[in-house]
């Protein structure tokens, strides 16, 4: 089986000086010119292709920092390492502005994949279909919420009688979604583990599930799993691109998809959270 050092050498064209395991699927490799790269192994080559395409598409906006992709093949991905730093309010405000600029770079449609990315992509360990649509409420219900609701019911994580509250929310999404917005260029999996506070004083993003979507979805993910200096991030974002009135009331609607993904992957606790946010949104 190919080792991380072999994948790094093949995809960078450089000899390898050292290798250090980081986790089961990650390794840090030092090249002969002193650069350090991260080598990631996925059991699903399509996921690797989607991640590489997402990193390149997001980087193409020229706003938020992302590690350069050196190459990928057969489930291996090689990217630059991001040197660790510490969270700061200054970096958070800058990140908020940069994230707004990333979203403003846009996408051809809701659900549009990166130009060289597959439609059958992934969000973390879960499959995610990038099927373009023209209307956000309908697309979000049909392509994000309902497919994962069905999987959660099939696995017994959501009971059949409970699913009706989510189905009702999907029916009422046109009235709950707020003003219509153009498709934004989303990171798509913006939880705190994918937000790196780097030594250069900037925030870098990794592991995208990039696609065209509603910009409030990325922000809702930051709320859902926590982010250092979140209010400073939001302040910077609002300076660059103010959000539509009532956006805080819509956070739960945008959290529904990631919560259902987590319900399928990790169990009942996330299902209960998903049902709670659906009930809250319907209660208004």
At 124-160, the pLDDT tens digits run 889 999 999 989 999 999 999 999 999 999 999 999 8
Distance CA 140, CA 111 (A): 9
At 77-110, the pLDDT tens digits run 999 999 999 999 999 999 999 999 999 999 999 9
Q: Taking the domains of the chain in order of start, what are their residue ranges?
A: 4-80, 89-283
The HSE-up count of residue 227 (CA atoms within 13 Å, CB side) is: 28
* This prediction's pTM: 0.95
At 176-217, the pLDDT tens digits run 999 999 999 999 999 999 999 999 999 999 999 999 999 999
Q: Which CATH number, 3.30.110.30, 3.30.200.20, 3.40.50.720, 1.20.1260.10, labels domain 4-80?
A: 3.30.200.20
What integer pLDDT is reported at residue 96 of this predicted model?
98
What integer pLDDT is reported at residue 279 of this predicted model?
97
In the chain, % of residues over pLDDT 70: 100
Mean of pLDDT over the chain = 95
Residue with tokens 């660059």: 240
Q: Which CATH number, 3.40.50.150, 3.30.1330.30, 3.90.1150.10, 3.90.1200.10, labels domain 89-283?
A: 3.90.1200.10
Assess whether pLDDT exceeds 60 at residue 238: yes
Residue 47 pLDDT level (bands cut at 50, 70, 90): very high
């Amino acid at each position: 089986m190919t080792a991380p050092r072999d994948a790094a050498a093949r995809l960078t064209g450089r000899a390898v000086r050292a290798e250090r395991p980081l986790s089961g699927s990650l390794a840090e490799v030092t090249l002969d010119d002193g650069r350090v790269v991260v080598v990631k192994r996925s059991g699903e080559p399509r996921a690797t292709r989607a991640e590489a395409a997402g990193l390149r598409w997001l980087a193409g906006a020229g706003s938020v920092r992302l590690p350069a992709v050196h190459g990928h093949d057969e489930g291996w991905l090689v990217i630059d390492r991001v040197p660790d730093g510490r969270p700061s309010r200054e970096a958070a405000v800058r990140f908020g502005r940069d994230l707004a600029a990333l979203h403003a770079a846009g996408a051809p449609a809701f659900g549009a994949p990166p130009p060289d990315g597959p439609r059958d992509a992934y969000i973390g360990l879960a499959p995610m279909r990038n099927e373009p649509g023209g209307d956000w409420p309908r697309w979000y219900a049909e392509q994000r919420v309902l497919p994962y609701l069905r999987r959660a019911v099939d696995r017994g994580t959501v009971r059949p009688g409970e699913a009706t509250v989510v189905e009702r929310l999907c029916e009422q999404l046109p009235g709950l979604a707020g003003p219509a917005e153009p498709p934004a260029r989303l990171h798509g999996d913006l939880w705190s583990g994918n937000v790196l506070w780097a030594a250069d004083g900037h925030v870098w993003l990794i592991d995208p599930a990039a696609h065209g979507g509603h910009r409030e979805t990325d922000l809702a993910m930051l709320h859902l799993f926590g982010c250092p200096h979140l209010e400073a991030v939001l302040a910077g974002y609002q300076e660059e691109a103010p959000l539509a009135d009532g956006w805080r009331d819509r956070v739960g609607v945008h959290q529904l998809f990631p919560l259902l993904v987590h319900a399928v992957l990790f169990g009942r606790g996330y299902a209960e959270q998903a049902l709670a946010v659906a009930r809250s949104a319907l209660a208004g």
